[in-house]
Amino acid sequence: MERINVHGLNVRETDVGESDKIITLVTEEYGRLTVTAKGVRSLRSKNMVACQPFAFANYVLRRSKKYFYVEETELIDCFFNLRADLDKLSLAAYVCDVCCDVSVENQPDPELLRLTLNTLYAISNKDMPLQKIKAAFEFRCSAVCGFCPDLSQCDRCGKETHPKMYLDVMNGRLLCGDCKPFTEREEIMEDNGTARLYYLLSEDVLAAMRYIAEAPAAKFLSFNIDEDGLYLLEKYSEGYLVNHLEHGFGTLDFYKSILL
């Protein structure tokens, strides 16, 4: 049987039988992989820690014709501090859920893995609002996955600034206040049945979105925004991502429920 060596993050798991798991790894080398981890629920298993949720590790996998099996592991990071705070733990679960959802089998996406690891590190170790980390991850994820809106200028007239700038969520573009009414009428005349959803962006929210989408991978959280702007940034980043993925997440619902 073939053996492969991968660096991967455990983003999902299912218990099987008395001591086994099926884990989902997002890896640098092969994208998303579904892997059987035998005996790892036993305290005697040498691979137990590296097969826990949020574990980032080096995995030696044995590949049969259809399945992968964990043979050896070397833990790199388990983001231990997540487990001491329910808010952090639930947000981390949502982040991993999104990563698992947008990753593709046998299609390496090192940028997505790096974003997820940087986000888990920030949740676990950085002293910053979880709302900021969540919003930045969601909007940056849209950019990494290729459906980030063009925020450089109004899609219709080319203005870079205007007292009212709208994010056209369903079409992934920016519209100024002068062009939005005309564009809406054009869409109605075309009668293409496309839903319309617009977010009015304040200057600081638009600046934050532009920064998040274009910043170096290690610096995507290095922006400042006040409390009111952060509230809107989180709302709009979540709305944009969820609308483009066309479904919600149970982990997101749980995260919101514990913040009430």
Tens-place pLDDT, residues 39-68: 999 989 999 999 999 999 999 999 887 889
- Quote the pLDDT of residue 187: 56
- Reference 36, options 3, 52, 14; nearest CA is 14
- Quote the pLDDT of residue 260: 74
Reading phi first (left if > 0) and then psi (alpha if -120 to 50, else beta), residue 148 is in beta
* pLDDT exceeds cutoff 50 at 161: yes
Instruction: Please list, in sequence order, all residues whose beta carbon lies within 8 angstroms of the beta carbon of residue 83, skipping any fewer than 6 positions away.
Output: 89
As given in the structure block, the two tokens for residue 144 are 């990494």
Average pLDDT, the chain: 93
Say how far apart CA 152 and CA 12 lie, in whole Å. Answer: 36
pLDDT band, very low/low/confident/very high, at 189 (cuts 50, 70, 90): very low
Say how far apart CA 260 and CA 257 lie, in whole Å. Answer: 6
* pLDDT exceeds cutoff 60 at 69: yes
- Tokens 């100024």 sit on residue: 176
Lowest mean pLDDT among 69-83, 129-143, 194-208: 194-208
* pLDDT exceeds cutoff 70 at 192: no
pTM: 0.93
Say how far apart CA 73 and CA 7 lie, in whole Å. Answer: 10
- Quote the pLDDT of residue 186: 56
Would you mind telling me the total number of residues written for the chain in this entry?
Answer: 260
174 C-beta neighbours (distance < 10 Å), count: 26
pLDDT digits (tens, 9 = 90+) for 240-250: 999 999 999 99
Element (H, E) at 6: strand 2-16
* pLDDT exceeds cutoff 50 at 233: yes
- Reference 8, options 137, 90, 105; nearest CA is 105
* pLDDT exceeds cutoff 70 at 145: yes
* pLDDT exceeds cutoff 80 at 195: no
- Give the sign of the dihedral formed by CA 147, CA 148, CA 149, CA 153: negative
- Quote the pLDDT of residue 106: 87
**Phi, psi (degrees; rounded to nearest 5) at 69:** -130, 140
3-state secondary structure of 238: helix
Mean pLDDT of 91-103: 98
pLDDT band, very low/low/confident/very high, at 154 (cuts 50, 70, 90): very high
Q: Do the strands 198-201 and 31-37 form a parallel or antiparallel pair, or are they unpaired?
A: unpaired
* pLDDT exceeds cutoff 80 at 1: no
Are residues 25 and 9 in contact, defined by beta-carbon separation less than 8 angstroms?
yes
* pLDDT exceeds cutoff 50 at 76: yes
- Reference 97, options 116, 73, 79, 78; nearest CA is 116
3-state secondary structure of 256: helix
